[in-house]
Structure 1
């Protein structure tokens, strides 16, 4: 059973499962495009038991979460109460406790998207663009560490640094909104006119299971980063998904953006 949100990750996971010969059903937590030959059933995060029943009826052996899902405070409160007994509005890391509850109630193993589509994880290496200078690499490592710190607060998975200074962090608006803010800051002269480059970094939340909501980048990320004046994208190696990799690399090369994977620590 693939619990599907928005974005191309859903397609990556479906195609990988099909290549492996798996029998699949897609439970749509967000509206889905036409998926010929694939069983797509509705799923309502406000009614988690209905999702459990759909998984049980299919006799699923494995469950994968893929794609973005928008949850307001009321939906988060309901999921938190379902998972923990407490109705307090929960962050993404707390909601990851749902995995254990779902496994107990369905008997199915929870797989990360990267365990189904194994070619998605970022390597610990240059991915696109030119090699970084020593100072640029130092700034990129600062950015990855800052992204981990933001994740530890359960705020987001991404930051932007100018040289060695953190200038913006992801919040509930996501990466697109972060890059929009960075573009505005740059246009208004607050950032981007120094020697140090603008660097976007994405890293997994330290306290979050890897089966839930790994950070991801793709061609759209590269395009929006370029519009914001970012020249380097650093991602946590082994814990970041690269979507539409060939198109992403082509977009980065065309726009003069360097992408690299870095191990944290």
Structure 2
């Protein structure tokens, strides 16, 4: 917010799923003096997030969630962290506040992931809350343009980057996934419902079986936001585990969308990439990828 210091900004609620990002966001907000509350999603938030949470609520406790937000005078909401599974219909029959909104909630459960997230945002906005994104509260966690570590992509790597980038754009148009792997000028894996980690493990298995043939480290993982995706939720992210899995898959590097992808545990992620001589770069999908 222009002209407003973090200490003067409205109190924000972090609706926290799994992974390390909720705690990283909380640390960033605390460092700036921004007032916040953490609501951990039961069955999703990890132990570190649960330990810092001001409330822990399940999928069927929408009424309790809105009462918590009102009681704590939260005006803004940030949806952060992963959600490993969609709630089933039995899990959203928790309290009167949930039942009252049940038709809207059921509609939100239909459609692809992008449709779901857009409708979840609308649920909060219909209640009068402003839904914000990482770029609004912690832009330092987003990838910048260019080489993020010490390792430069080689000339041959750029062809794989461009090819995998085109593949992610097609995936995004179909609301399927955000990531693809290209090796030696060929797309070898596309992200589906299994997620990036499982896709990279599949690549490692294929390499062991000889289905992916390359001399030394070769190929690249590319992760980008879907075209027309609401960047307030479900940003593509990489972290230390992504680096480990890319190494196991024999890849030469990782490329993520600049200003549209998260680098979780940034210092550790970059240090791991450097130690493994793995390049990590931020790319702009609208620019020429040919190196100068």
The aligned counterpart of 1:231 is 252
Once residues 119 and 141 of structure 1 are traced to their aligned partners in structure 2, the CA distance between those partners, rounded to angstroms, is: 26
Local SS of the residue matching 1:233: strand
1:200 corresponds to which of 221, 233, 240 = 221
Local SS of the residue matching 2:139: coil
2:63 corresponds to which of 49, 58, 61 = 49
Deviation at 1:122, TM superposition (A): 0.7
The aligned counterpart of 2:8 is none
1:71 corresponds to which of 59, 69, 85 = 85
Once residues 133 and 160 of structure 1 are traced to their aligned partners in structure 2, the CA distance between those partners, rounded to angstroms, is: 16
Q: 1:12 touches 1:117 (CA, 8 Å); kept in 2?
A: no
Matched, 1:24 2:45: no
Deviation at 1:49, TM superposition (A): 3.5
Q: 2:143 touches 2:256 (CA, 8 Å); kept in 1?
A: yes
The aligned counterpart of 1:160 is 181
The aligned counterpart of 2:267 is 246
Stretch moving more, 74-83 or 185-194: 74-83
Q: 2:77 touches 2:130 (CA, 8 Å); kept in 1?
A: yes
Q: 2:59 touches 2:91 (CA, 8 Å); kept in 1?
A: no
Once residues 267 and 217 of structure 2 are traced to their aligned partners in structure 1, the CA distance between those partners, rounded to angstroms, is: 28
Query: Could you list the runs of 5+ residues in structure 1 that have no partner in the other structure?
Result: none
Q: 2:177 touches 2:191 (CA, 8 Å); kept in 1?
A: yes
Structure 1's 19 and 253: CA in aligned 2 closer, same or farther, altered over 3 A?
A: same
Q: 1:24 touches 1:38 (CA, 8 Å); kept in 2?
A: no
For the aligned residues, what is the CA RMSD?
Answer: 2.7
The structure with higher relative contact order (CA 8 Å, sep 6+) is 1
Matched, 1:181 2:195: no
1:128 corresponds to which of 145, 149, 158 = 149
Stretch moving more, 215-224 or 195-204: 195-204
Q: 1:81 touches 1:87 (CA, 8 Å); kept in 2?
A: no
Q: 1:83 touches 1:98 (CA, 8 Å); kept in 2?
A: no
Q: 1:155 touches 1:171 (CA, 8 Å); kept in 2?
A: yes
Q: 1:185 touches 1:191 (CA, 8 Å); kept in 2?
A: yes
Aligned length: 264
Once residues 209 and 251 of structure 2 are traced to their aligned partners in structure 1, the CA distance between those partners, rounded to angstroms, is: 15
Larger radius of gyration between Structure 1 and Structure 2: 2
Cα displacement string for residues 49-93 of structure 1 (whole angstroms, at most 9, x for unaligned residues):
332332222221111111111223626996996547637633211
Deviation at 1:186, TM superposition (A): 0.6
Structure 1's 179 and 35: CA in aligned 2 closer, same or farther, altered over 3 A?
A: closer
The aligned counterpart of 1:103 is 125
Deviation at 1:146, TM superposition (A): 1.3
Query: Could you list the runs of 5+ residues in structure 2 that have no partner in the other structure?
Result: 1-12, 93-97, 287-292
TM-score by length of 1: 0.89
Cα displacement string for residues 199-231 of structure 1 (whole angstroms, at most 9, x for unaligned residues):
111001113200011011111110111011111
